[in-house]
Structure 1
Amino acid sequence: MSNPRVYLDNAATTPLDPQVIEAMTAVMKDVHGNPSSIHAEGRQARTTIEQARRTIAKHLNASIGEIFFTSGGTEANNMALKCAVRDLGVRRIISSPTEHHCVLHSLDSIGKQEDAVEIVQVKLDEKGRVDLADLSRLLAGQSQKTMVSLMHSNNEIGTMIDLQEIGALCEEHGAYFHSDTVQTMGYYPIDVEATAISFLSGAAHKFYGPKGVGFIYINGDNNIKPYLDGGAQERNMRAGTENTYGIVGMATALDLACQEREDREQKIRSLRTYLCEQLAKDFPEADFNGDPTQGHYKVLNLRFPPSPKTELLLFNLDIAGISVSGGSACSSGTDTGSHVIRALRGDDDDAVNIRVSFSHHNTKEEVDRLLAVLRSVLR
């Protein structure tokens, strides 16, 4: 009997938690009304959605009126950026070249369609960390309404920003602050009441919830218009019949993630530390992309020098039953390489990069299987 596959690509997506499946199944079975209908079935669905909204707001220390449901992180980030330009008078956006493609491509679109909007990139160091002195300089020199858009944790290399530090800097200079928190939601405590932040995003499938559902936090001081036109759903902010069971699944998943955060983190950190220790012994030539000591504890981006043995490393790992990735899942199927690594290392970098991203479901035995395959392929 063959060994089961080892899944180490949890930054791309996570498996559904059994309790989430149970909660969603109950809604699929018993809550079939349209939340916009005024009859009993509709009111039941509406109550179910609002209970989920309260759960999410509670874990962010937000008002329920500041949480809006979306189809995922991509829609949430598009909504924050494009509505800020359209409705809040933003004419200058400071971001970075290592943001998720949904942010970078939104900025490209904004730059092309809105010729009055200036897109500026803050400097990063070799580990992908934001140069705070450069950010401060860019903010101090602003003459137009500005937004800073920087992700909390990079999805490929795990490098993080300090939300409170950058939020305070934006507040000092009168700038809006948007952060893509898709990779950190449920993994790190986020308190919007204690942080000067205008918009942030979440996606359920990154914290053991269903795909196709997410949310955006919009600070109550920011008055923006609907992103999708149609019905009056989401308090007129996002038209379309709500994904009731997906929303319940997301709230259940976030509730579990926050309740079990410390225990999950401890398990993941122990596996990550073990992998780093074994790599140092067996592969001294290997290196890391990003900041392995201060980055997101679930992400480790390995860097191997180019050689004939590394050319098909991802393929050989997959054949051996190990699921890892070379970068963002959104770039799968392309041969352009990682835009994140390219921004930090340059266009002529030919090393082989592998992202290992952990779950609290992973075990030491699974890490040993990864190491065994690496030894067999690279030795």
Structure 2
Amino acid sequence: MEKYLDIISDDELVSSIKTLISTPSPTGYTKEAEAFLLEYAKKYSIDARKTEKGAVIYNFGSDNAKKGSCFAAHIDTLGLMVRSVNGNSVKFVPINGIPPIYAVGDYCTIMAYDGNRYRGTILPDNPSVHVNKDIRDVPLKYDKFHIRVDYRFSEDEPAKKKIFPGDFIFLDPKFDFIEGFVKTRFLDDKASAGLFLVIAKKLKEAEKKGQLKLKKNIYFYFNITEETGQGISSLPDVDNLYIVDMGVVGDEINGDEFSVSLCPMDSSGPYNYDLTRELETLCIENKLDYKKDIFPYYGSDGSAVLRACKDIKVALFGVGVNASHGYERAHIDGLKNTYNLLKSVILKECIE
């Protein structure tokens, strides 16, 4: 069975992640990504459903299986929203935790209520150096910035009749794959979701060949409300929940872009000891590069599940991501280590 889940090429992982990242899905507007996931499931005959809230769940079940194991990633991302329109100036607010320093200067797309999409650039107010002697001292605060829209408005057709408060703004992801590095916005957490797509497709191929014999049901849960802390709703009947979300890279942290990160504890408290220990054992047995870290300023869908007092065991792991919530970067080696840990958990826990 293991051979069916092996990675064929680096491009297999990278292209899956790129496709997801190219589909805009800031928290609150994830319908395009939801539609993509459902269409992907249909294409490969994967059993899938969408919750009322909008999360998508892939299911691999067996009549003989009792409980199940759930693997969860989130497809909602950071973004912006129109706050006000004054003349040709569009003011905005952040959706979730994107620092202003990671937004200023970026190209973006405003999705207007009527369905039209307007390109633009995020700039400080009065942005020209040649007329604004204080431009170098502009504080990094969202109320000091606006979007310059690439559209020729007029008195008869002003911006305020085209763009309205509440319109979503998509930041350009700037995807690039160079020297083994994947650098782009939204690796948090579309890197993990992309890995789910690859392994779900492989599981289905094995099932079609009669090679998939399950002792536990397998669920891949694509959540849409992680960045706002709402977490997962309507979990399937499972006893173990594995959150696959980005690992932290930074000062006083062991994690790096080449490894899979295991998180025994984040800001919500410790995750399940036995599951975390089993993840580490699988890393050692399969010679995977891994790091263990406490994530002090981090919360996950697992945090929300634990706060809801669910009777379920939860663990957290994921690829190390540099510059989180900004111009993020991971490495293909870290992605492969994460994929192989995911594969190892499924093989040991769910497959006969």
Specify which structure has the higher proportion of strand: 2
TM-score, normalised to structure 1, is: 0.28
TM-score, normalised to structure 2, is: 0.30
Specify which structure has the higher proportion of helix: 1
